[in-house]
Amino acid sequence: MASREHLLKVGVSGIRGVVGPFLTPSLACAFAQAFGTYVGRGRVVVGRDTRASGEMLQHAVACGLLAAGCDVVDVGILPTPTIQMYAGSSGARGGVAVTASHNPPEYNALKLFNGSGLFFNNYERGELVDLYHQSDFRQARNEEIGKVAVEAKAPVMEHVARVLAQVDSALIRRRRFRVALDAVNGAGSVMSPAFLAETLGCDVTAMSVDPTRPFPREAEPRPQSLAGLSALVRARSSDIGFAQDPDADRLAVADESGRVLDGDDMLALVIDSALPRTAGDVVVNLSTSLVIDDVARRHGRRVHRTPVGEANVVEVMQAVGAAIGGEGSSGGIIYPVVHLCRDSFTGMALLLEVMARSGETLSALAARLPRYFRRSGQVPVESRRLGALMPMVEESFPGASVDRSDGIKLLLADGWIHVRPSNTEPFLRIAVEGQSAERLDTLYEKVLGLLE
């Protein structure tokens, strides 16, 4: 049995763990009461994805918030970015999304947002965690206990309006793109088909859009898990295919042949389309490809790098006034003029606009990007071994430039290596990039051999 610390984690986005012996309703209630105590009395927006444990945990969260004297705005099953935007625009004290995002179905989590609809920064996070551990929660008196209100339509309208303000929807609609969609039976199952078909005028063929059914594939939309989407693209002669994770903040894209693009290449295309119209630099995490640097350089912009995690990227984006940012390795696109959150809907709209404006296929657009070779993986690890493993990796590549801000990243003349503990699971994540396929294989196998 893995250790308890590995199956229940407090990280950059909230608390996360395996439901049952680790993440329980009582823990969720207590953490929500700590959250309500921290943000103060007022409205808190609460929504969830489609996991079996979601309804149970959402009730627990509502109980904790009510006990702290907050009112609860129940927005039901909605994408995380939709919940974030509504929390930030509706005058709420904060928001909670009950979702474990890309993790397997036995996991769940509480993603916590402040009154601006953003993840807590390090200072806020530290204060909240201290408050939780001290169990010094506000206990509302009978006359102070709030109420639960249901609101499902306004958040969707807010999200769609923000995206449409940044793209030429009429241009997209005129192209009448044929689009394949795999929503993994997640939180985007209803909103995504409607957004593509009704809002953007696409001819949509969708799979896995039943929010009452389990996830039919691996939750994270990676190339190796998207054979169904690729087959659907080819069967329907689609112009493009989109896949989401269960809370619809992550996006994967297939071209017209059914080939799933590398997430860094997808992010590069979106950044290339956004920079001409938006002032500012680019922010990505340490595991994101150098193709982003090439694209940014073409527009005369700098690239800033952060530890992995949406909250980390957003914090630096705020600090530097970034035009756009994201995490290619996780299919995360963050466009501040829509909202400072990872948002698959913004990504879908921007990519469709690029294709509509250029008249080119997605494969042709991707083919013009500088070519790098990338590979990622993971190995199980116990936390007590990290102190020995990291120096061993560094010592095996003498002469490399070293960044220790998130695990260890080694910059070489013809590639880079990034090894870090996962924010959400008991693994060491490995990301490697090389300027040739041969160099990539050599670097990856060497690192894997060291860690195993």
Active site residues: 101
For the record, the structure tokens of 178 come out as: 């044929």
* Token pair of 69 as six digits: 């004297």
Q: How far is CA 111 from CA 28, 83, 270, 327, 431, in A?
A: 11, 10, 26, 18, 25
Compute, in degrees rounded to 10, the torsion defined by CA atoms 229, 104, 431, 398. -160
Q: Cα(48)–Cα(289) distance, rounded to whole angstroms?
A: 31
Cα(186)–Cα(101) distance, integer angstroms: 10
Check residue 275 and report its DSSP letter: G
Buried b / exposed e along 195-233 (16+ C-beta atoms within 10 A)? bbbebbbbebbbbbbebeeebebebbbbbebbebbbebb
List of E strands, 55-150: 71-77, 94-98, 107-113, 148-150
C-alpha distances out from residue 72 to 152, 233, 265, 341, Å? 13, 41, 40, 22
Whether 251 contacts 207, CB under 8 Å: no
**Which single residue is written with the structure tokens 């005129």?**
174
Inter-residue long-range contacts of 275-279, CB under 8 Å, 24+ positions, other chains counted: 275/299, 275/301, 275/323, 275/324, 278/323, 278/324, 278/335, 278/337, 279/321, 279/323
User: Look-up: residue for tokens 């070519």?
Assistant: 371
Q: Find all residues with CB under 8 Å of 323, minimum gap 6, and list them.
A: 274, 275, 278, 279, 280, 281, 282, 301, 336
d(CA 451, CA 274): 39
**Cα–Cα distance for residue pair 451/151, rounded to 1 Å:** 49
Question: Cα–Cα distance between 175 and 172 in angstroms, integer?
Answer: 5
- Beta strand segments in 309-368, E: 324-327, 332-334
Read off the amino acid at residue 397. F
Could you tell me if 145 and 70 are in contact, meaning their C-beta atoms sit under 8 angstroms apart? Answer: no
